[in-house]
Amino acid sequence: MRNDFELKKFNEELNNSFNDQTFGFRDNYIISKIEKSISFTVFIRKEKIGLKYPFKNINQDKIDALTTLISEIHSDFKHKKYKTSPYNNYSIWELNTEELKNNEIIDLIKKIKMHFL
């Protein structure tokens, strides 16, 4: 598990590793966007990395299609929904990163950026 200090240092490492992308540290997570055909928001927490789909209330067929694509990046990404209100369901795909080293997370982000999402 990374503590907040380690996460903040990792944010600096990420910004030094990517010339074309900015990562920001917010309280207890790192946030960025990956600009693909769909602009995913990336959340890096102490134990997880998440890819948030930018639109709410997507149907199950879209979730299944995105899950298939995201599984090509790493098979352990898991989909979950979260509500911001009774009417707004958002989708995020998360991967547990407890066992990953910083350089492995950087490589994972590079792989996401190269994928044809």
Burial (CB count within 10 angstroms: exposed 0-12, middle 13-18, buried 19+), residue 99: exposed
Q: With pLDDT > 70 as the criterion, what percentage of the chain qualifies?
A: 98
pLDDT tens digits, 7-56: 999 999 999 999 999 999 998 999 999 987 888 999 999 999 999 999 99
**Residue range 75-99: average pLDDT?**
94
pLDDT tens digits, 27-38: 899 999 998 788
- Between 93 and 82, the more confident residue is 93
Q: Show the tokens assigned to 2.
A: 């990374």
pTM, full prediction = 0.90
Q: Show the tokens assigned to 62.
A: 């879209």
94, β-bridge pairs? 50, 78
Asked whether the predicted pLDDT for residue 1 surpasses 70, the reply is: no
- Domains in the chain, please, with CATH? 4-114 (3.30.1460)
AA identity, residue 88: N
